[in-house]
Amino acid sequence: MNRPFVAVLMGSDSDLPVMQSTLDTLSSLNVAWEVKITSAHRTPRETHDFVVDADARGCGVFIAAAGLAAHLAGTIASITTRPVIGVPLEAGSLRGIDSLLSTVQMPAGIPVACVAIGKAGAKNAAYLAAQIMAVNDEPLRSRIKAERATNTAQVLAKDRALQASLHA
Ligand code: RP5
């Protein structure tokens, strides 16, 4: 059996600059990943075939990022019963509100876990995927906890620096 992995799909190469942080965050947690540019409307057959194949090869979680009328996550969720996390991206005049609604408003029965628009969502998609993968992976759970402890220490250090500068 292959090592379980997270599949990160995005509708266009124009999504990659934001989604790079998803890949970087998964790598920092030592979570295996694959990435693919594929579109629900431009390459529907390839999207379908990739999802079926990735599911069979041990994909544990799908992350789908798209802008505008963002139906990629919903399309993937219709093909697989693996968890699907949708990242709505800002790609047009509605500044991501269009993709947020397209991603989050799934009809009952085919869920998509939708994160925030853009940069924060791209990072959180990776953390959420890792947390799902960690359900059966204690070492990964420990790495996620360690990462949170680092974040906590960084915030505390920033506050200490601020207080010191105010009272200097
Ligand atoms: C969506 O349309 C993509 O996910 C992208 O966010 C947006 C624009 O795509 P390009 O026209 O830049 O290829 O399908």
Output the pLDDT for position 168.
Answer: 87
Q: How far apart are CA 15 and CA 1, in angstroms?
A: 31
Q: Are 8 and 63 spatial neighbours (Cβ–Cβ below 8 Å)?
A: yes
pTM: 0.95
The answer to whether the CB of 89 is under 6 A from ligand 1 is yes
Q: Which atom number of ligand 1 is nearest to the Cα of residue 10?
A: 4
pLDDT at 27: 98
Q: Report how far residue 8's alpha carbon sits from residue 33's, in angstroms, rounded to the nearest whole number.
A: 7
> Does the C-beta of 98 come closer than 6 Å to ligand 1?
no
- Whose CA is closest to atom 2 on ligand 1? 67
pLDDT of residue 2: 75
SS3 state of residue 105: coil
Number of the ligand 1 atom closest to the C-alpha atom of 39: 14
Q: Ligand 1 atom 13: the closest Cα is on which residue?
A: 12
pLDDT digit string (tens) for the chain, length 168 residues:
579 999 999 999 999 999 999 999 999 999 999 999 999 999 999 999 999 999 999 999 999 999 999 999 999 999 999 999 999 999 999 999 999 999 999 999 999 999 999 999 999 999 999 999 999 999 999 999 999 999 999 999 999 999 999 998
60-84 burial, b at 16+ Cβ within 10 Å, e below that, comes to bbbbbbbbbebbbbbbbbbbbebbb
**Does ligand 1 come within 6 angstroms of the Cβ of 26?**
no
Q: Rounded distance, CA 5 to CA 13, Å?
A: 21
Q: Strand (E) positions, 103-155?
A: 113-114
- What is the per-residue pLDDT for 1? 56
| Among 22, 23, 13, 30, CA closest to 144 | 30
Q: Does 67 sit in the ligand 1 pocket, CB within 6 Å? A: yes
Beta bridge partners, 62, equal 7, 84
- 139 CB neighbour count, 10 Å cutoff: 8
| Residue 99 alpha carbon, nearest atom of ligand 1 | 6
The answer to whether the CB of 68 is under 6 A from ligand 1 is yes
Nearest to 70 by CA among 121, 5, 109, 20: 121
Nearest CA to ligand 1 atom 3: 11
Ligand 1 proximity of 91 Cβ (cutoff 6 Å): yes
Tokens of residue 15, six digits: 């999504």
- Residues whose CB falls within 8 Å of the CB of residue 109, separated by 6 or more in sequence, listed in order: none
